[in-house]
Structure 1
Amino acid sequence: MSMTAHRLLELLRQVRSLDFTARSESDTGWNGRGSGNVEIESPLPDIVLFHESGQWQAEGQPGRVAFRNVYRWSVVDALTVRLEHLRLGRDQPVFLLDLAAGSDGIWQAAVPHLCVDDRYALRLTAEPAGLRAVWTIHGPKKQETLDYAYTF
């Protein structure tokens, strides 16, 4: 049975931290690990904002780099959740994906996000300790996977 969009937002509201790995099969890509905190804001019942901040460490590179992102998750309908990046502010969201609930409990992008020649797809699953979000990015110069573990 599919998880409803409102149930997914309930789980998203519980997230407190993130860890991720980046792997690239292309010469121009990057590999490494990151970790950080997620501060949750829920301005309306059908919306959850992720304020992500943390540190990124590229393989073979000295030092860590700080990162900061804000994402908006919102209910579209009973089985669809929209994901937007708020890098330009709340009034200028960058649409990323609409995720549809599958009967197998996996949320997937109905249509990949296109950025120039690159296609971004997302699979989101619930796990006992949190959520796993796996991004795949394919394009002429990119063959990358970003594997996020969001922990409650």
Structure 2
Amino acid sequence: MTDSETAIHSLWHLLSQITAFTFQAGNGEGSRTDWNGRATGQVVVTPWEGGLSFAESGQYTTPHGQRLAMSNRYGWQRGEQGIRLCHLRFGSPVPLFELVPVTAHRWQSREPHLCGADHYRAELVLTGQGFDVEWVITGPRKNERIAYCYRI
């Protein structure tokens, strides 16, 4: 088995064990959005189209302390070079990108996801009890970072 195949196998095994998440969202200089806050919640992993679905539910807290119920759903599938990530919106998958191993513990999006003029990129780092994913979203109105922590 090649190093890449070993990395894909290890991450795939870990994905099925995830039970919780947190994230911190913030915008940078030049952003015209108000995407700031943090969330915490549970992840329910189920089979989905030959891959896995992450159904996230929890609580989002705004910078002003307002707490809101939140949910999100992602799909993960094995690809030829890595693991593909989709946002599952309204029952239709929106392909985001394929994460490919850079080292045994670090992954990067192979190409950015384009949504209009916005570019979405991600980096995944394995940790002792799960993995972290940092999203970077840039565009004419956006300069955001979302730091997800997924845990077993």
> In the alignment, is residue 15 of structure 1 matched against residue 18 of structure 2?
yes
Query: How many residues matched?
Result: 147
What does residue range 35-50 of structure 1 map to in structure 2 within 5 Å?
Answer: 35-43=40-48, 47-50=51-54
SS at match of 2:79: strand
Q: CA deviation at 1:43?
A: 4.8
Alignment partners' CA distance in 2, 1:27 and 1:70: 25
Alignment partners' CA distance in 1, 2:85 and 2:100: 11
AA of the residue aligned to 1:63: Q
Alignment partners' CA distance in 2, 1:145 and 1:114: 16
Alignment partners' CA distance in 2, 1:74 and 1:104: 19
Q: CA deviation at 1:73?
A: 0.4
Alignment partners' CA distance in 1, 2:104 and 2:42: 29
8 Å CA contact retained: 1:18, 1:35: yes
* Residues 69-106 of structure 1 deviation map (CA, whole Å, 9 limit, x = unaligned): 111100012x41111111121xx311111111113531
Q: CA deviation at 1:132?
A: 0.1
AA of the residue aligned to 2:58: G
SS at match of 1:131: strand
Structure 2 partner of 1:30: 35
What does residue range 1-152 of structure 1 map to in structure 2 within 5 Å?
Answer: 1-2=3-4, 3-25=6-28, 26-43=31-48, 47-60=51-64, 62-77=65-80, 79-89=81-91, 92-103=92-103, 105-152=105-152
SS at match of 1:141: coil
Unmatched runs of 5 consecutive residues or more in structure 1: none
Q: CA deviation at 1:124?
A: 0.6
Q: Please, what TM-score do these two structures have when normalized by structure 1?
A: 0.89
The percentage of aligned residue pairs carrying the same residue is 37
SS at match of 1:93: strand
Alignment partners' CA distance in 1, 2:12 and 2:125: 13
Unmatched runs of 5 consecutive residues or more in structure 2: none
Q: CA deviation at 1:9?
A: 1.2
Seen in structure 2, the aligned counterparts of structure 1 residues 149 and 122 have a Cα distance that, compared at 3 Å, is same
